[in-house]
Structure 1
Amino acid sequence: MRVSPLTLGTITFGGDHGMEYFGHVDVDGAVDLLSRAKDAGINLVDTANFYSTGVAEEVLGKALASSRSFDDLLVTSKVGMVIGDGPNDGGQSRWHILDQVDRTLRRLGRDHLDLYYLHEWDGQTPLEETLQTMDQLVRSGKIRYYGVSNYTSWQLMKVLMTCERNGFIKPVSQQIYHTPQARDAEYEMIPAAIDQGLGSQVWSPLGMGLLTGKYRRGQDPQSPARMVDGPGTDVIVTDRENLYDTVDTLDEVASAHGASVAQVTLAWLLTRPGITNLVVGARTTAQWEDSLGAVDLTLTDEEISRIAGVSAPAVRYPFWHQVDLASDRLSAADRSIIGTTAGQLG
């Protein structure tokens, strides 16, 4: 399935049930965002049953129904997060997946999902049960493809092994958290996807707002803001000085292009090995318009390297050992470990 470089994320739709700090995009606002997405050639919209406990899907469904021009937009949703107080209101059991896919389709007003993500790892439900259910959903036509989200590389490989062993249809993509400042996925998640032929779709590529330029030394945004009213930066960022250094570098590059910090962040991610697509949410049409500008922004090799260098993570074992003693035996997936061993790989 071919997708545009950017996907419109809908976590800002609705703003209810404990997710008020993400945004309050209503149906009219959603129609505006979808219209601009269509005009810009965006062909994919991302949502989840977890977003405002279904309200985001309801808002999206009403917006999609407002115009036949939206009929050819691809839609992805997710299942697995806890969305109620009942013992079966979360996880990846057959019961929960089948119950939730029907609810999602009713809210969206569609008869199928183009891509359906297992939103979180479930270490208690037998993996064969989960993957057989996804296999059946693809074969029935309720979903066209499926993927995994927030899985470690060993969990992803276990999924693929289980599918191979049982003849199940395999996932085609992973959705991961990855930014110029938060680069844990480079160690194994992205190389694993490259090696196995899966796409990697990035959620919150602007670091939940941290890489928009609003967060500087001594200059955090006021409420309402996701990282002020939500989980807080201490949960996401362990090194604030590196965050500020990264934003400063992004700002310098942005100034050279007459662009925004957000645009440079997105443009840089689109240059990274294995990255297929970025999911970008917006509270307003102006924010969405700014993000769309990243697609036409071309960074120089020097600028790409500068951004990579300011936030380069430490070289972990066994990568330094492989580079030292087996550099002539590394694959393209091995060499994608950017920011860790890439500088030594030449």
Structure 2
Amino acid sequence: MQYTRLGNSNLKVSRICMGCMGFGDPNNGMHTWTLPEEESIEIINKGLDNGINFFDTAIGYQNGTSEQYVGRAIRENAARDEIVVATKFLPRSEEDIKNNVTGQQHIHNMVDKSLSNLGLDYIDLYIYHMWDYNTPLYDILEGLNEVIEEGKVKYIGISNCFAWQLAKANALADSEGFSRFVSIQGHYNLIFREEEREMIPLCQADNIATTPYSALASGRLSRMPGSESKRLKEDFYADLKYKSSESQDLEIIKRVNELANDYDVSMTEVSLSWLLTKVTSPIVGATKPHHVEGAVNSVELTLTSDDIAYLEEPYVAHDLVGVMADNKVSASDNEKVWAKHTKNKI
């Protein structure tokens, strides 16, 4: 495994981040394909044994049970100061707003619940899961700064936002003496490259870490069409993200398979090797041991400049999908967006 610095933070992270959306009680949330506790911990331990020290979860994954499983695995099998734990919090709900829960108090409530779920004393990277159009940005930044000053959080990141929003947030943080966002978790992979238009250049200019989700396009970049996983059959959101672009994505997937055969490696290794030339640490989900092995092996595969150009050449612009397509919504609509994609309740 190779390691790198997470943007402007002091965190040293593995080049592969284990995505933990696949861990959690399958009877307690939207997804039925998630792994129960013991199986989840086995996969986490497989990652630890292969040098992965960076784990990404969220309070919204299977109603907090993902956080619980990740926390237990780390407490029982790793030295806490050698592990980087990232988790995410949701915007205020309509009920929060009606009850006059401020943005600051909401963040305190969320971080305390996540710490309880994890069974840990602090969170290394606390991530704003989706832009909250119903809460003043100042309130969010002040709340995040408060939990950092209390020692509950080391650094903050953001997910599912536009480049102008990230730039605006960090400019406000600078002007008010608050902590800046050190990372962005956006939708980015070989068949969805819209982040290259504005977000990636911003991050390169300001040394903001890039930790994209959907690194393998929900499995599409790890196998040829016709071989479906349980997740692809059951995950509405995963299907939504790529359904409208299947035909234009197929040529790229074929080229991934061609290079995998040429190098005698898996499609996963080729896809992630390409992504590793672009970002800090891609988030890679794993529910089977070979998922971990493929991700770890990708760090050792070096594609040539000709390979990279060959993979990139067929790409055409994609429409925004999912959370990013549901731009600027009301509090109740924000909850509907989240429910549509996760059906979770905290």
Q: What is the match of residue 221 of structure 1?
A: 228
Higher RCO by CA contacts (8 Å cutoff, separation 6 or greater)? 2
- Secondary structure of residue in 1 paired with 2:157: strand
Quick one: distance in 1 between partners of 2:238 and 2:140? 33
Distance apart, 1:313 and its partner CA:
3.7
- Describe the superposition over 1:93-113 as per-residue Cα deviations: whole angstroms up to 9, x where unpaired: 222211010011111111100
Would you say 1:289 and 2:306 are equivalent positions? no
Contact 2:128 2:159 in 1 (8 A): yes
Change (3 A) 1:101 1:178: same
Task: Give the TM-score normalised by the residue count of structure 2.
Answer: 0.82
CA positional deviation for 1:283: 1.2
Following superposition of structure 1 onto structure 2, how do residues 74-113 of structure 1 map, counting pairs within 5 Å?
A: 74-80=84-90, 86-87=95-96, 93-113=103-123
- Which one is further off, 301-310 or 31-40? 31-40
Q: AA paired with 2:146?
A: Q
Runs of 4+ more than 6 Å apart: none
Please say if residues 44 and 70 of structure 2, whose CA atoms lie closer than 8 Å, have aligned partners that are also in contact. Answer: no
Structure number with greater Rg is: 1
* CA 27–69 in structure 1, closer or farther in 2 if over 3 Å, else same: farther
Matched residue SS, 1:276? coil
Q: 1:164 aligns with which of 157, 161, 174?
A: 174
Judged with a 3 Å threshold, the aligned counterparts in structure 2 of structure 1 residues 35 and 234 are, in CA distance, closer, same or farther, namely: closer
Residue in 2 that maps onto 1:258: 264
CA distance in 2, matches of 1:68, 1:303: 38
Contact 1:92 1:118 in 2 (8 A): no
Matched, 1:37 2:47: yes
5 Å-filtered alignment, 1:1-346, equals: 1-14=11-24, 15-21=26-32, 23-69=33-79, 72-80=82-90, 86-87=95-96, 93-214=103-224, 216=225, 219=226, 221=228, 224-226=230-232, 228-231=234-237, 233-272=239-278, 275-313=279-317
Q: Note if contact 1:246-1:311 (Cα within 8 Å) is conserved in structure 2.
A: yes
Change (3 A) 1:169 1:231: closer
Distance 1:115 1:288, change over 3 A: same
Q: Given the superposition, is the C-alpha separation of residues 64 and 2 from structure 1 closer, same or farther in structure 2, using an over 3 Å criterion?
A: closer
Seen in structure 2, the aligned counterparts of structure 1 residues 87 and 136 have a Cα distance that, compared at 3 Å, is closer
Give the deviation of 1:35 after TM superposition. Answer: 2.4
Between the aligned partners of 2:290 and 2:143, the Cα distance in structure 1 is 40
Cα distance, 1:237 vs structure 2: 4.0
Query: Contact between 1:205 and 1:279, CA under 8 Å: does it hold in 2?
Result: yes
* 2:280 aligned counterpart, secondary structure: strand
Aligned residue type for 1:54: G
Amino acid at match of 2:293: E
Give the superposed CA RMSD: 2.2
Shift of 1:246: 1.1
**TM-score, normalized by length of structure 1?**
0.82
Question: In 2, Cα distance between the equivalents of 1:85 and 1:226?
Answer: 31
Any gaps of 5 or more consecutive residues in structure 2?
Answer: 1-10, 319-346
Check the 8 A contact 1:29/1:284 in 2, yes or no. Answer: no
Secondary structure in 1 aligned to 2:14? coil
Q: Output the CA distance in 1 between the equivalents of 2:124 and 2:104.
A: 19
Q: How far has the Cα of 1:85 moved from its partner?
A: 8.1
Identity, % of aligned positions: 28
- SS at 1:209's partner residue? coil
